[in-house]
Amino acid sequence: MRLTRAAVWAALFLCAFWRFAVAQDVTLTSRDGRIELTGTLLGFDGEFYRIDTLYGELTVDGSGVLCDGPGCPNLQDYVAELSISGSATMGAVLMPALIEGFALRNGYIALRMVEDKTHFNYSLTDEQTGKLAAVFFFRVTNTDEGFADLLANEADIVMALREIREDELSRAAEAGMGDMTGTNRSRVLALDAVVPIVAPNNPVRDISPGNLARAYAGQITNWSDLGGPDAPITLHAPAPETGLGQAIEDEIIAPAGLQMSPNIMRHMRGTDLAGEVSRDAFALGVASFAEVGNAQALTLTGVCGRALRATRRTIKTEDYPLTAPMFIYLPARRLPKIAREFLAYTRGPSAQIVIRRAGFVDQAPEEVPVDDQGNRFVNAIASAGAEVPLSELQRMVSVLSSMKRLTTSFRFEAGSVRLDAQSRSNIQQLARGLEQGRYDARKLLLVGFSDGEGPAEVNRSIALRRAEAVRSAIIEAAETADLDRVVMDVDAFGEAMPMACDGSAWGRQANRRVEVWVR
């Protein structure tokens, strides 16, 4: 049996009516009549009531109470609801693709209904019974608006192209939403990157991060200064309130100590930005890796001659320095069962395939043979000298040549010993792999590398301590893993294999890393 479209609309109308009614007073009474709680019903997940009372926000098991009041849900025909708000980039393609993949895998029919430019919803109907099981309500605007909706208690999940900021973090804690940076409160859903782009007929094919920052600060205004024609540069960028626009400020402009020029054409949607740049031979833009479209992506270069291009592999390993993780944030409250099942699905291998097909970078670990890493070893040879002798390079080749590199890497926040957001997610991912026995009877080698600032022996020591810190974090996270079935060692080669030039902050950041090698 399948619901007709009219029946689904009727069910959605009832859902909308209940969402309006839910903010009314209800009384929960224990079945023996001895305990009574009155308050405003904030939510019901099919099993538990969440109410705001004189004693604060309480979660009450629905099996032990009777509900009285206009806001009480229909227990017989309960429909789970989930409100999702935030990034239009994630809401346009990624999240719908995941919901449709989840529905297909779990026997639901997914029906999308568009309300206006920023609102749509997905209804999930059980394919066997024809019963409406859940409605996912979307508001797609930008990351700032997503966090605002969360703080106003109007969103269950935030889609974000940046990490939560300190002021948002403190306000969420004050509102009783818990530590939004905690393991169960934030998660990297997929990976993206900030990519400089030009039109296909523009002869410029590479740019240094320093020159990119100076161009967006208005200090470089002519293409001739970048090796192109004698023509003025037309700048395009995402709107400042979008997560990608803020990522450009954080990752390109701020490290250079500059400010964005006021003479920039701003765009709310990345696809619009890439389209405008692809049609203008003298345009320079910064876009999401997934939204480059017909434009030409530029390679990042440094004065030492090393170049880094945004690809699936370099983004996944964070070898490309301008990675942009795509986050979801959840408040510290219980979500409906079907919502929890959907979130669990997004971690699995099927979801990683969906993410990749949607044009984004998944997080499934891949093993890269040494034969496919020739350019990295070329960098090592080119950088050898008095502080990195031939003997150390020979030791590195001897240790790594029989192994494969995992695309799972670990990097640290600038000026900090704290792992960056993508690396914190990688800790959880590798820990789950250990718990599932994926690496049983195998050897994992955590290898530390450093930048070239300072004495080589000191750098190697620092890199080794970072590798040991990563191993400790993985062991702590892998609570149910049988670690006797896997060998997990650490080693370090310091500055022996640089990824980028040490002459810039972004280059040094790219070089400071802990890689995972397997055999």
Span 183-202, pLDDT tens digits:
778 889 999 999 999 999 99
pLDDT score at 222: 97
CATH architecture of 80-185+330-357: 3-Layer(aba) Sandwich (3.40)
- Helices 166-174 & 143-151, crossing angle to 10 degrees? 20
pLDDT score at 416: 66
Would you say residue 5 has pLDDT above 60? no
pLDDT score at 425: 87
pLDDT score at 54: 86
Contacts of 239 (CB under 8 A, 6+ apart): 142, 245, 266, 267, 268
Cα Rg of the chain (Å, integer): 25
| pLDDT category of residue 275 using cuts at 50, 70 and 90 | very high
| pLDDT category of residue 3 using cuts at 50, 70 and 90 | very low
CATH topology agreement for domains 192-316 and 365-518: no
Would you say residue 258 has pLDDT above 50? yes
Burial class of residue 113, CB neighbours in 10 A (0-12, 13-18, 19+): middle
| pLDDT category of residue 62 using cuts at 50, 70 and 90 | confident
Span 302-360, pLDDT tens digits:
777 778 899 999 999 888 888 889 999 998 878 888 999 999 999 999 999 999 999 89
Residue ranges covered by each domain of the chain: 80-185+330-357, 192-316, 365-518
3.40.50.300, 2.30.110.10, 3.40.190.10, 1.50.10.20: which CATH number matches 192-316? 3.40.190.10
Span 460-489, pLDDT tens digits:
999 999 999 999 999 999 999 999 999 999
| pLDDT category of residue 91 using cuts at 50, 70 and 90 | very high
pLDDT score at 289: 92
- Greater pLDDT, 389 or 10: 389
Listed range (2-11, 34-43, 284-293, 315-324) with the worst mean pLDDT: 2-11
Q: Mean pLDDT in the chain?
A: 88
Burial class of residue 240, CB neighbours in 10 A (0-12, 13-18, 19+): middle
pTM recorded for the entire structure: 0.80
Span 385-442, pLDDT tens digits:
777 788 888 888 889 989 999 999 998 876 667 788 888 889 999 999 999 999 999 9
Would you say residue 384 has pLDDT above 80? no
Q: Which segments within 254-352 are labelled E, that is strand?
A: 265-267, 283-288, 296-297, 299-301, 307-308, 323-329
Stretch 22-37: mean pLDDT: 82
Stretch 66-78: mean pLDDT: 82
Q: Domain 365-518 belongs to what topology?
A: 60s Ribosomal Protein L30; Chain: A; (3.30.1330)
One-letter amino acid at 100 equals: E
Neighbour tally for 70: CB within 10 Å: 10
Distances (CA, A) of 450 to 477, 498, 507, 508, 511: 25, 8, 11, 8, 5
pLDDT score at 82: 93
pLDDT score at 17: 44
